[in-house]
Amino acid sequence: MPLAGLAAAWALLIALFFSDWRDMAAQWWDISTYNHILLIPAIVVWLVSLRAKELAKLAPQAWGPGLALVALALLLWVAGSFAGLSLARHLGAVVMLQGAVLAMLGPKAGWGLAFPLAYMLFLVPVGEELVPMLQLVTARMTMTLLDVSGVPALLEGVFITTAFGYFKVAEACSGVKFLIAMIAFGALVANVCIRSWKRRLAFMAVAVAVPVLANGLRTWGTIFISKYQGVEFAAGFDHVFYGWVFFAVVIVLVLALGWRWFDRAIDDPMIDAGAINSSPRLAARPIRREVALVLLALLALAALGWSSAAGRLAAQLPQRIALPEVPGWTRMDYTPQVWWQPRHGGADHRLLGRYVNAAGDTVDVSYALYAGQSEGREAGGYGEGAWMPETGWAWSEPGPSLAGGKVDRLAAPGPDGAQVERVAATWYRNGGLISGSNARLKLANAADRLLLRAEPTATLIVSAEERPGHPAPRALRRFLNATGASPGGPGSWMDRIASSR
């Protein structure tokens, strides 16, 4: 009966938040970075089976405080829904199931299942946010190895130029796939094979460091092979060897390095039911299972109702907006060397234009205005803004500081084969907020919806191409000064556009 109650609770939560589980499953299947997550449910079942003999000695009971964890998970889900942050929604959906175990089976069973429950967190698809940082780390490691091996090269952001080829440490070469999967693998091995916490932490450190170092070696090897066998051969070798063999080699290496630390005998129980049963800290006052299930359902329905009400919020916007005049600058036709148009999915208004001053500096302005923020219309969503993944433009490196904005250097091949570089600075406006931080925007959006307050959100991207005699950062600074931007950002100028003044 306790397991039937838990099954009912899980079925209810998965049904009510099915869209989030569907989104997660789509990412597990479609995005190679998360393919390993398809194995996590089976691993969780296996981990429970390892504890089955000892778990049978524990008496499950419904537990009121377990609903507190469900409530916290629902609050996290609501905040993620309000901020348009899928990570928070997905994490909330998983923690709901963990909390349901405590609510329906009690603290003793929850403690016995502590690691399998914690391992469920690997169901959350997370890690793509590390790609830019890992690209830079891999590029710099590769340059160090090229220097040691006597291969002259020039590094510009994530682009490496040699006498025999031009290489980019692409998103797929960042090593994030290896790193995320190895963290999940390392946590599993550390629990199953090691008893000492110090050894577990040491093993996890190895599990994190080895794939990062190995990925730098992989990238260097591809370039080094290109020197003697050509770029085409090296690319094929990278696809076959590194794609099919390399990760297995990394796993074997990590296991070999950690083997001497394995101290759990094969017949050691994973948990001690006797100690759990005798622990006064795990003693609890039970409640009726039916009551726990009804309360859980009411909490979930309340969260969904709150999210639905907030999702209908929309601020009043002008019917038409336009880019204003800027002293010392005039509008001209938008004719970039390589077409660049930021993505503003779901925006109610979009503007794209080019300004030029008497000195010949040119600046491109992209502006988007949203009546509200929701799924599919998120100003700071993945793939939105200055750099659009899977286009001709590639992120190169962070750019120079500009009035509190988020500044990126982008690069794309030009019509003549030469590289075209662009510097783009991004600001978000929401109520009194003016910031280049996507995280701060998410918090502001969440606060609006928590208070059922309708506020418009705007995105401004000011960008310039690098041209001889006209460095992009200087052109952007001149333009921002002409708009009257403060050190905190061009908030007042963004407000003028939003009000069409």
Model pTM above 0.85? no
Whether the pLDDT of residue 338 is over 80: the answer is yes
Task: Give the span between the Cα atoms of 7 and 18, in whole angstroms.
Answer: 15
Task: Break the chain into its structural domains and give their ranges.
Answer: 2-124+286-311, 128-261, 329-499
The torsion defined by the Cα of 213, 208, 169 and 380, in degrees rounded to 10, comes to -160
Confidence of residue 33 (pLDDT cuts 50, 70, 90): confident
Element (H, E) at 480: helix 472-483
Task: Give the span between the Cα atoms of 113 and 109, in whole angstroms.
Answer: 6
- Bridge partners of 326, per DSSP, are 329
Ramachandran sector of residue 84 (left: φ over 0; alpha: ψ -120 to 50; beta: rest): left
Tokens of 418: 């030469």
Determine what percent of the chain is predicted with pLDDT higher than 70: 95
What is the model's pLDDT at position 42? 97
What is the Cα 92 distance to its own chain's centre?
15
Q: What mean pLDDT do residues 41-50 have?
A: 96
- Residue among 98, 242, 81 nearest 172 (CA): 242
Length of the chain: 501
Q: Which residues contact 390 (CB under 8 A, 6 or more apart)?
A: none
- Residue among 342, 328, 325, 332 nearest 381 (CA): 342
Task: Give the span between the Cα atoms of 174 and 492, in whole angstroms.
Answer: 39
What is the model's pLDDT at position 380? 78
- Phi, psi (degrees; rounded to nearest 5) at 311: -65, -20
Task: Give the span between the Cα atoms of 211 and 227, in whole angstroms.
Answer: 24
Task: Give 339-377 pLDDT, tens digit per residue.
Answer: 899 988 888 899 999 999 999 999 999 999 988 777 777
Whether the pLDDT of residue 139 is over 80: the answer is yes
Tokens of 442: 């998410």
What is the model's pLDDT at position 414? 82
- Report whether 458 contacts 497 (CB < 8 A): yes
The DSSP line for 57-117 is TS----BTTHHHHHHHHHHHHHHHHHHT-HHHHHHHHHHHHHHHHHHHHHHHHHHHTHHHH
Q: What mean pLDDT do residues 182-200 have?
A: 93
Tokens of 6: 């838990």
Q: Which residues of 168-200 are buried (b: 16+ CB within 10 A; e: fewer)?
A: ebebebbbbbbbbbbbbbbbbbbbebbeeeebb
Type of residue at 173: C
| CB neighbourhood size of 279 (10 A) | 13
Task: Give 410-453 pLDDT, tens digit per residue.
Answer: 988 888 777 889 999 999 998 888 999 988 888 888 887 777 77
> SS in 3 state form for 241-294?
HHHHHHHHHHHHHHHHHHHHHCCCCCCCCCCCHHHHHHCHHHCCCECCHHHHHH
Whether the pLDDT of residue 84 is over 80: the answer is no
Least confident range of 100-104, 237-241, 261-265, 340-344: 237-241
What is the model's pLDDT at position 243? 63
| CB neighbourhood size of 59 (10 A) | 11
- Report whether 175 contacts 215 (CB < 8 A): yes
